[in-house]
């Protein structure tokens, strides 16, 4: 994951002059902690302008590049935790970053800031939709949006899973999960309770998978040139 | 009142089950809100999901509209709290614990074990939306075109999604077929 940094090395020495968006490894050390007000402002902005689901990308831009409250490794570490824990990645990121900057209160402020603009817009759209929901044009528009969202979701899934899609064991776990939920309609709770511990057991420290991988040096080379898929 | 309680229970449960994010929990959300509690129809579920795509911030804020359909503004508020607060509390404490176990080899095992499950669930979520929206060549073409464009270069998804919506509005099947083909 941290291979992202090595993929694009910006040639400009000044960060401001760099357009690649991935010069983060060269950013100067993290600055002092923001105040609660600054924290709120930044998350509110990210929440207001992040259309189309790329909230995490906007957070990265603001937190790492613009304000430098975190370096890129910190950000990616936090993202990994966010992806493992239940909940939306963007919301989890806000909790983790807010907590790190200003404790539990900071976490609350970050989450509220992130969600507030979307909540207002969402409720406005929801009420309007509720009044007009039998309108044929509106229905057609929303079908088109949903169809396009399928392409978007598939892109995000492929990018997020670029490491998993090349490992046979991960593909099996992925397929088992998908088939259980989408084909056999098993309740999600049961899938998580059964497949989750089984998967963690397979990847346990000093287990067969881990030991085998220690000798598979070739794979690492393969990953390092695929890792630019991620962001 | 029992409706409010059910909303809180269902979305609180979904909140805890949302391993892999909002997309991952979509099939379960559809099962509970459409098939089990009949709060919305499948078609309305799809439309509300689409509204979430158009609004800024996390797409899953759309759950508030489901709450609004069931019990007005109170329903929307209850759903927002139930769906977001448990996860925030879990993340706050789990992350602090996570940092304490930074060097534990089990931490990596959990991360690597849960990752493929999260991806599998995201595929299931994508499949659910596909089942609700792809019924003809036009919608299939829109999905394929969106995927291709996004794989090819970075475009603001809102732009693609708006174009897709307008395209379907102009070229979509006439109302009679639409009613027949959409469940």
Residue B119 Cα, gap to closest chain A Cα (Å): 6
* Mean pLDDT within B149-158: 88
A123 in reach of chain B (CB within 8 A):
yes
pLDDT band for A159, please (50, 70, 90 cuts). Answer: confident
Q: Please, what is the angle between helix B157-171 and helix B137-152, to 10°?
A: 160
How many residues are listed for chain B in this entry? 183
Record: contact A177-B109, CB cut-off 8 A: no
Q: Between B73, B125, B146, which is nearest A148 by CB?
A: B146
For every residue of A18-79, DSSP letters joined together read --SS--GGGSPPP-PPPPHHHHHHHHHHHHHH-BTT-HHHHHHIIIIIIS-SS-HHHHHHHH
pTM of the model: 0.84
Asked if residue A63 is part of any domain, the answer here is yes
Q: What mean pLDDT value characterizes chain A?
A: 82
Record: contact B119-A201, CB cut-off 8 A: no
Query: Chains A, B: CB contacts under 8 A, how many?
Result: 367
Q: Domain boundary at A97, A112, A146, which?
A: A146
* ipTM of this predicted structure: 0.90
pLDDT band for A29, please (50, 70, 90 cuts). Answer: low
Do residue A142 and residue A203 come from a single domain? no
Asked if residue A151 is part of any domain, the answer here is no
Cα-to-chain-centroid distance, residue A217 = 28
Do residue A15 and residue A120 come from a single domain? yes
Do residue A39 and residue A134 come from a single domain? yes
B100 in reach of chain A (CB within 8 A):
no
Record: contact B18-A204, CB cut-off 8 A: no
B179 in reach of chain A (CB within 8 A):
no
Do residue A129 and residue A185 come from a single domain? no
Do residue A229 and residue A133 come from a single domain? no
Record: contact A87-B91, CB cut-off 8 A: yes
Residue A150 Cα, gap to closest chain B Cα (Å): 6
CA geometry: angle at B73 spanning B67 and B74, to 5°?
80
Asked if residue A153 is part of any domain, the answer here is no
Q: Which residues contact A77 (CB under 8 A, 6 or more apart)?
A: none
B59 in reach of chain A (CB within 8 A):
yes
Burial of A26 from C-beta contacts in 10 A (0-12 / 13-18 / 19+)? middle
Record: contact B64-A119, CB cut-off 8 A: yes
- How many domains does one find in chain A? 2
- Domain assignment of residue A204, given as a range: 161-231
Q: What does the alpha-carbon distance between residue A174 and residue B123 come to, in Å, rounded to a whole number?
A: 9
Record: contact B168-A176, CB cut-off 8 A: no
Asked if residue A32 is part of any domain, the answer here is yes
Span B69-111, pLDDT tens digits: 999 999 999 999 999 999 999 999 999 988 888 788 888 899 8
Q: Domain boundary at A112, A146, A180, which?
A: A146
Sign of CA dihedral A154, A155, A157, A158: positive
* Mean pLDDT within A218-228: 60
């Amino acid at each position: 994951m941290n291979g992202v940094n090595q993929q694009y090395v910006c040639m400009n020495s000044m960060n401001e002059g760099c357009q690649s968006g991935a010069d983060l490894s060269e950013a100067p050390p993290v600055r002092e902690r923001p105040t609660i007000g600054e924290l709120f402002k930044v998350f509110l902005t990210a929440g207001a302008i992040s259309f189309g689901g790329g909230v995490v990308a906007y957070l990265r831009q603001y937190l790492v590049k613009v304000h430098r409250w975190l370096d890129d490794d910190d950000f990616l570490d936090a993202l990994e935790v966010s992806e493992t824990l239940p909940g939306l990645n963007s919301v989890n990121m806000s909790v983790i970053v807010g907590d790190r900057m200003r404790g539990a209160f900071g976490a609350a402020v970050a989450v509220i800031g992130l969600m507030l603009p979307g909540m207002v817009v969402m409720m406005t759209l929801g009420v309007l939709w509720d009044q007009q929901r039998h309108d044929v044009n509106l229905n057609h528009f929303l079908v088109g949006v949903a169809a396009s969202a399928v392409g978007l979701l598939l892109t995000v899934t492929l990018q997020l899973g670029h490491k998993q899609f090349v490992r046979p064991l991960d593909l099996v776990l992925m397929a088992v999960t998908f088939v259980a939920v989408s084909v056999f309609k098993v309740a999600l709770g049961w899938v998580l309770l059964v497949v989750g511990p089984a998967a963690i057991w397979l990847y346990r420290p000093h287990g067969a998978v881990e030991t085998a991988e220690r000798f598979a040096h070739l794979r690492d080379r393969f990953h390092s040139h695929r890792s630019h898929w991620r962001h | 009142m029992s409706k409010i309680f059910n909303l809180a229970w269902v979305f609180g449960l979904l909140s805890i089950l949302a391993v892999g994010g909002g997309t991952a929990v979509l099939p379960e959300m559809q099962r509970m809100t459409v098939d089990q509690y009949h709060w919305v129809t499948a078609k309305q579920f799809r439309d509300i999901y689409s509204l979430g795509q158009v609004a800024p911030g996390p797409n899953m804020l759309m759950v508030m509209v489901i709450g609004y359909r069931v019990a007005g503004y109170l329903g929307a508020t209850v759903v927002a709290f139930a769906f977001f607060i448990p996860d925030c509390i879990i993340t706050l404490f789990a992350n602090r614990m996570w940092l304490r176990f930074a060097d534990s080899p089990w931490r990596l095992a959990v991360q690597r074990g849960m990752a493929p499950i999260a991806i599998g669930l995201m595929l299931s979520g994508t499949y659910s939306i596909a089942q609700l929206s792809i019924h003809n060549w036009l919608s299939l073409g829109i999905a394929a075109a969106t995927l291709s464009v996004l794989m090819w270069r970075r475009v603001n998804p809102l732009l693609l999604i708006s174009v897709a919506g307008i395209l379907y509005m102009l070229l979509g099947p006439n109302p009679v077929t639409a009613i027949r083909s959409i469940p």
